[in-house]
Structure 1
Amino acid sequence: MLHEFAVPKFLWTEAVNTACHVVNRACIRSKLKKTLFELWVGRTPNISYFRVFGSKCFVLDESPKVTKFDAKSLTGIFVGYSNTSKAYRVYLPTSRVVIESINVKFNENANEKTEEGNSIVGIQDRVTTQEIEFQPKDELPPVILEEPLNRDDDNLIGEENHEENTIETTQDEMPHDKTQPIPQPVHEPPEVFREVSSHPLSNVIGDPREGVRTRSGLNQMIGYCAFVSQLEPKSFKEANIDPNWIVAMQEELNQFERNQVWELVPLPSGKQVIGTKWVYRNKLDEIDNVVRNKARLIAQDFKQQEGIDFEKTFAPLAHLESIRMLLAYAANKGFTLFQMNVKSAFLNGWIDEEVYVQQPPGFVDHFNPDHLFKIHKILYGLKQTPRAWYGRLCTFLIDNDFARGKMDTTLFTKKRDNHLLLVQIYVDDIIFGSTNATLAQEFPSLMSSEFEMSMIGELNFFLGLQIKQLQDGIFISQIKYAKELIKKFGVEDNKSLDTPMGKSANIDADEKGKPMDITLYRDIIGSLLYLTASRPDIMYAVCLCVRYQANPKKSHHKAIKRILRYVKGTQSLDLWYGKQTELDLVGYTDADFAGDRMDRKSTSGTCQFLGG
């Protein structure tokens, strides 16, 4: 691997790690007919992202100092795959560092040679300055090696000019007189290289005492699998060329078979037929690593007619306020919350109407291509699907001595002696915990007896909330979401502010102001409102801007951009629910007098604290 493109030998650790990564996914065990990855994860690995080790590549230069006329890419050597993100590892010869980036373009066929016969992308191991005999300073002019411009790679980022990489080799920093003319490129005899049996410790990346690590930990394995399905197909035609998505579609149909969702029958006369289509999604964890490829077969509900194909459709959803109250209660009582998921939850709901759907694309019965599926259980995409699943789950829990909440019908409780088990439902995601460890251990077994479950473990990420459970309390934050907002709305390069609004801020309708894009304004408003789930400090400022989303002006955009700049400087703020805090509900209220300059209306507000 090191010799193919003359990769520097001090990158041997990168070569070993890359070899382990490839072997685990490419070498098949003869007896089991499976790769090590498949034995560990349970599915065939996708190797379409593999690249030639040591090949020449170009990395997008994301430095804020890059100007319009600078080169937009850095030339490097591909040396492996990141184990913490969806990125490639690239060695930059000019700065002698290894970076990680997803914005990489490869030239795997490039094996150009310099005049001395060495590969352009390979830089031979050089001996230290103490081991090379240099000529005196006054006899040794600077040697400038210019890399020829490769026009084949000009289309990397749409620029036609690439900065020529210049490497200047001298013995010491030699100050030049300001009036001295710029030296012209000269061709000197090649430098003297000498093979040595050892290399300077500074050239080794990582700690040699730790040995070779093969990334066998579960979390690292998940991170390494991030490339497996980073692209989501838009159609069946795209998915049909990827073995991983074919397996995902087959798993979905296997779930239909196990749950007895449908039955293949001839089409009765006079019945409406509903089409089907595949939808493909990657399921991500809290750091955006792909943990599962999910293919959904959904019904095209736009063909359903109310009163014929469906009746009622409403199903309740958990509110973020309810989830925060559950977190506050768990922190106060000192018990741990866990998370589990119902596999193919909607397929467990019963359907009352007579519905027929077409056979799924790509999986048509060869013996009965004209037949249709009669639905016995709910199918994804039908208008009554959420209600049917909620009804099935609700009935099951009530039959097992759970009580449904009166104010929040997605919260279920079960009492035993002086202990309490709490279960919060959000469609197919379930979080639960109990003041009694036995009750908490019994609940997953109870659910598994009726549904096919997936136990996730301790609750750490739910509905965009990052949750950290400690012995003395619980932290909740939306750091990941806040970073996404800053990047999405283009305030990365803006200076952060200390407050979400000025001391003398007085926003009004500004009827004579210049209008702004109403869609963009509402997008920002909606995003910030969701951020208030863990950031009450921006609630008032956001609600003030909400008033003008019907006809926003530039002044309103300036106000809402200030909130984003405040969020940029306070991304790490979070809510803390302490164990020692009294679980008392405390409320505050206040109002101004004739605060609106246009119509002299007053504004009132309230704030409630529970366990904070």
Structure 2
Amino acid sequence: MLVENQTGRKIKKIRSDNGLEFCSGLFNQFCRENGISRHLTVPGTPQQNGLVERMNRTLLDKVRCMLISSGLPQNFWAEAVMTAAYLVNRSPSSAIEMKCPMEKWSNKSPDYGVLRVFGSVCYAHINQGKLEPRAQKCILLGYPSGVKGYSLLRLEGGSPRVIVSRDVVAFKEELMYKDVVGKADDRFRDSFEGDTGVQIEVEKSGESSNMPSEVTGNQENNDQVREGYSIAVNRPRRTVVLPMRYREGEDLSAVAFSVAEMEAVTEPLGYYEAINSDDKENWMKAMNEEMRSLYQNETWRLVDKPINQKLVDCKWVYKLKEGIEGVEKPRYKARLVAKGFTQREGIDYTEIFSPVVKHTSIRVILALTAVYDLELEQLDVKTAFLHGVLDEQIYMKQPLGFVDKEQPNKVCLLKKSLYGLKQSPRQWYRRFDEYMVKNGFSRSMFDNCVYIMEYSSGRFVYLLLYVDDMLIACEDKRQIQIVKGVLMREFDMKELGSAKKILGMEIQRDRNKKLLYLSQSSYIRKVLKNYSMENCKPVMTPMAQHFKLSKSDCPVTVEEIEEMQNVPYSNAVGSLMYLMVCTRPDIGYAVSLVSRFLSNPGKLHWGAVKWILRYLNGSKDLGLIFGQVNADDPLILGYVDSDFAKDLDRGRSITGYGFKVIGSMVSWKANLQHVVALSTTESEYIALTEAVKEAMWLKGFVTDLGFDQVDALVLCDSQGAVQLSKNQRFHERKKHINVKLHFIRDVIESKEVMVEQIDTLCNAADMFTKALAGSQFQNCLVKLGIG
């Protein structure tokens, strides 16, 4: 049965000798019921079953050598046989093309790093009294089946026992059993004389790097449970490892959207910690560079403190900025930040909103870059917020460590905006916007952080701004240099060359094939490591079909609520949400589903989050592909779908759509509808309305970029919704539909956006509305250009 379950192949014949264990009535009946033919050898002719007999001899030869070499008593022949079989199954064989049996069995190469000398001395980590030793001397007896750990003979801590431990902290392979248990010490030898069985104890222990990574369940003998061992009582308990953000001394408050922890160097939490750290020179250099920028920009001037004037305090913030793997080293960054939470609205600030470029806009520009082979370069504004001019009078204390020795009692009157002030982002954007418009750029009407300039007939340069990060795309490299010169005349800029990484998204180009790849593999690895899921078993889809999540799965009792409060559910969902927004539309439905229970998640909800992480572990390098153009498709092509009343709590439907521009995926959505639909047609009509609005925005934005005659097509698999969007006749069955949803009729009638029906099996938006089987899910990924 084990072979059949593990391989899917049926056992047809069994050849054995005439031993009673093979000729019993129960075994014969079992073979007859399962249609298994029996072949028995003639008594006294073991050569008729030569394959098995030769293996018996091979194992016996190994066992004899292992017992003699280690000096272990013959009572341990069973452990020696198990170890010999373990090694044979992982040794190359000429009969199977120099592959090992384990590799043929599981299609995986075995891990040889866990192998140790049989009978050698080792030390198992234990938890006992505070003043007691943390390890006990043991002898390695092998690798038990069905358990991740080593089988050990414990020599210390009372009578000798055979235990199974995961935490083996050291191996002394040059020392054997016979070397540490001499003739004078008969305490252990006498314990085994006439012993009918040594008790096995499975220890409770934590994670260890020195343990077998495989759990075998094949032809090896699985009967290792001796007297006194109970798997229910003595089974190893799983040790819960706290995520990094809950460990003492770690400042990871922004882990939900930026998992950029550095392992080798810790980031100081304050000025005094920085100047007393091992990296004092690097941090001081970073602080001096920051102060140099502040002085050059004339950020403040020292004045006497006005009477009864409230001061804004400041602090130093330190960050080890992550570089591009294998290209750029991490940078030490120190930032002087004002404590903006002490500001008062109406006195110290008024308006604070500042726009940033939409992720959809970035992806549209990347699609144009790939298809038209544009140059794409990246810039960074040094101390961007210092360029903003303040409208209010704000007084600040002098920064710690840089107090003017000649004027220690004076305060800083801020002339320019400073990081941490509430109005700083807005003042910086206003300054940048005014300068760009004055130098010939026009601001897009559909995204205020996209700037366009036509430098010759039909040729454009595009500039995208996300706070202090910029992308410049243009056909002519010389024109990019001209734009850089214009920017550097006004702002202190840092050239980063060809765009490699923006907002945590990694950009790779194959200019020969005119392809561009956008992924977040490094970010995914850090997220998985942060939640101790880097070694989890991968799955094929982001959400399994058996997950039926609702509020009924939320904890109710005080004990359940307290237990779930220790689970980092919100942070994990936040990390997944940022990934979904940037480059992974394939997890859109799954993230939408788990994000509904942020206020009170249950164990089943947390299981769904871990399922998404398992999917990401198997698809770390998956991302968006730009440049795959289908000549038959319109410039803007969208898929839309809805799943009627799938919300188990309120009966609302799900809207899902995905849009491609020039053959590349740029926009997607998967969320609950705001109203309860009364029919399938109504839910599809609501989803179609949302998709048409997105199509209109994309059409306007692409037109802004200099394209003429932009066609937009939306494909929907609901015939009723498509007909309802085109037919303006009144009908009793649709009088309840909100009037505002009917605006798409005018849009379709004016031919601004076209809507057509598509077969359900061809609708790529299916992945945004429901959990799909593996093959269906892969088909959707292919249609949307995700690979």
TM beyond 0.5: yes
Number of the residue aligned with 2:413: 374
Contact 1:333 1:579 in 2 (8 A): no
Number of the residue aligned with 1:495: 537
* Matched letter for residue 240 of structure 1: I
Confirm or deny that 1:345 pairs with 2:340.
no
CA distance in 2, matches of 1:600, 1:381: 44
CA distance in 2, matches of 1:257, 1:348: 12
Q: 1:598: Cα distance to partner?
A: 4.6
Number of the residue aligned with 1:385: 424
* Matched letter for residue 531 of structure 1: L
Number of the residue aligned with 2:575: 527
Contact 2:365 2:473 in 1 (8 A): no
Counterpart among 316, 335, 340 of residue 278 in structure 1 = 316
Counterpart among 320, 328, 331 of residue 292 in structure 1 = 331
Q: 1:407: Cα distance to partner?
A: 1.9
Number of the residue aligned with 1:42: none
Number of the residue aligned with 1:23: none
Number of the residue aligned with 1:48: none
**Aligned residue runs from structure 1 range 187-336, under 5 A:** 230-241=265-276, 242-287=280-325, 290-336=329-375
Number of the residue aligned with 1:517: 564
Contact 2:554 2:601 in 1 (8 A): no
Q: 1:581: Cα distance to partner?
A: 4.9
Q: 1:386: Cα distance to partner?
A: 0.7
Alignment CA distance shift 1:160-1:509 (3 Å):
closer
Q: 1:418: Cα distance to partner?
A: 1.3
| Structure whose CA Rg is larger | 2
**Aligned residue runs from structure 1 range 35-74, under 5 A:** 70=124
**Aligned residue runs from structure 1 range 166-185, under 5 A:** 166-167=173-174, 182-184=177-179
* Matched letter for residue 166 of structure 1: E
Q: Secondary structure at the match of 1:354?
A: coil
Q: 1:422: Cα distance to partner?
A: 0.5
The superposition leaves residues 74-104 of structure 1 with CA deviations (integer Å, 9 ceiling, x where unpaired) of xxxxxxxxxxxxxxxxxxxxxxxxxxxxxxx
Confirm or deny that 1:364 pairs with 2:364.
no
Q: Secondary structure at the match of 1:565?
A: helix
CA distance in 2, matches of 1:237, 1:559: 43
Alignment CA distance shift 1:595-1:161 (3 Å):
closer
CA distance in 1, matches of 2:338, 2:651: 52
Question: For structure 1, which runs of at least 5 residues remain unmatched after alignment?
Answer: 1-62, 73-158, 169-180, 187-225
Contact 2:262 2:320 in 1 (8 A): no
TM-score normalised per structure 1: 0.63
Q: Secondary structure at the match of 1:547?
A: helix
Number of the residue aligned with 1:542: 591
Q: Secondary structure at the match of 1:605?
A: strand
Alignment CA distance shift 1:504-1:160 (3 Å):
closer
Alignment CA distance shift 1:290-1:233 (3 Å):
farther
TM-score normalised per structure 2: 0.49
The superposition leaves residues 332-385 of structure 1 with CA deviations (integer Å, 9 ceiling, x where unpaired) of 211121111111111111011111111111111122111111111112211111
Counterpart among 519, 534, 546 of residue 477 in structure 1 = 519
Contact 2:375 2:477 in 1 (8 A): no
Number of the residue aligned with 1:589: 640
CA distance in 1, matches of 2:410, 2:169: 60
Any runs of at least 4 consecutive aligned residues in structure 1 with deviations exceeding 6 A, and if so which?
63-66, 226-229
Q: Secondary structure at the match of 1:555?
A: helix
Alignment CA distance shift 1:464-1:64 (3 Å):
farther
Q: Secondary structure at the match of 1:506?
A: coil
CA distance in 1, matches of 2:650, 2:343: 48
The superposition leaves residues 137-169 of structure 1 with CA deviations (integer Å, 9 ceiling, x where unpaired) of xxxxxxxxxxxxxxxxxxxxxx9995253348x
Number of the residue aligned with 1:559: 608
Alignment CA distance shift 1:560-1:314 (3 Å):
same
Which is further off, 502-511 or 255-264?
502-511
Q: 1:508: Cα distance to partner?
A: 2.5
The superposition leaves residues 179-210 of structure 1 with CA deviations (integer Å, 9 ceiling, x where unpaired) of xx954279xxxxxxxxxxxxxxxxxxxxxxxx
Alignment CA distance shift 1:602-1:342 (3 Å):
closer
Confirm or deny that 1:608 pairs with 2:648.
no
Number of the residue aligned with 1:193: none
Q: Secondary structure at the match of 2:597?
A: coil
CA distance in 2, matches of 1:361, 1:536: 46
* Matched letter for residue 255 of structure 1: S
Aligned residues, how many? 413
Contact 1:229 1:282 in 2 (8 A): no
CA distance in 2, matches of 1:331, 1:338: 13
- Percent of residue pairs identical: 33
Number of the residue aligned with 2:49: none
Alignment CA distance shift 1:370-1:394 (3 Å):
same
Contact 1:282 1:290 in 2 (8 A): no
Alignment CA distance shift 1:504-1:439 (3 Å):
same
Number of the residue aligned with 2:497: 457
* Matched letter for residue 279 of structure 1: V
Q: 1:474: Cα distance to partner?
A: 0.5
The superposition leaves residues 289-325 of structure 1 with CA deviations (integer Å, 9 ceiling, x where unpaired) of 6442221111111221111111111111222222111
Contact 1:510 1:553 in 2 (8 A): no
Alignment CA distance shift 1:587-1:263 (3 Å):
same
Contact 1:420 1:436 in 2 (8 A): no
Alignment CA distance shift 1:302-1:598 (3 Å):
closer
Number of the residue aligned with 1:409: 448
Q: 1:402: Cα distance to partner?
A: 0.6
CA distance in 1, matches of 2:380, 2:263: 22
CA distance in 2, matches of 1:482, 1:64: 28
CA distance in 2, matches of 1:227, 1:549: 28
**Aligned residue runs from structure 1 range 67-216, under 5 A:** 70=124, 163-167=170-174, 182-184=177-179
CA distance in 2, matches of 1:456, 1:406: 28
Alignment CA distance shift 1:227-1:503 (3 Å):
closer
Contact 2:124 2:170 in 1 (8 A): yes
* Matched letter for residue 527 of structure 1: S
Higher relative contact order (CA 8 A, sep 6+): 1
Higher helix share: 2
Contact 1:595 1:601 in 2 (8 A): yes
Q: Secondary structure at the match of 1:380?
A: coil
Q: 1:483: Cα distance to partner?
A: 1.1
Q: 1:593: Cα distance to partner?
A: 3.1
Counterpart among 444, 447, 470 of residue 484 in structure 2 = 444
CA distance in 2, matches of 1:166, 1:69: 11
Q: Secondary structure at the match of 1:239?
A: helix
* Matched letter for residue 496 of structure 1: P
Alignment CA distance shift 1:400-1:594 (3 Å):
same
Question: For structure 2, which runs of at least 5 residues remain unmatched after alignment?
Answer: 1-112, 117-121, 127-165, 182-260, 665-787
The superposition leaves residues 15-60 of structure 1 with CA deviations (integer Å, 9 ceiling, x where unpaired) of xxxxxxxxxxxxxxxxxxxxxxxxxxxxxxxxxxxxxxxxxxxxxx
* Matched letter for residue 420 of structure 2: G
Alignment CA distance shift 1:365-1:594 (3 Å):
closer
Which is further off, 227-236 or 435-444?
227-236
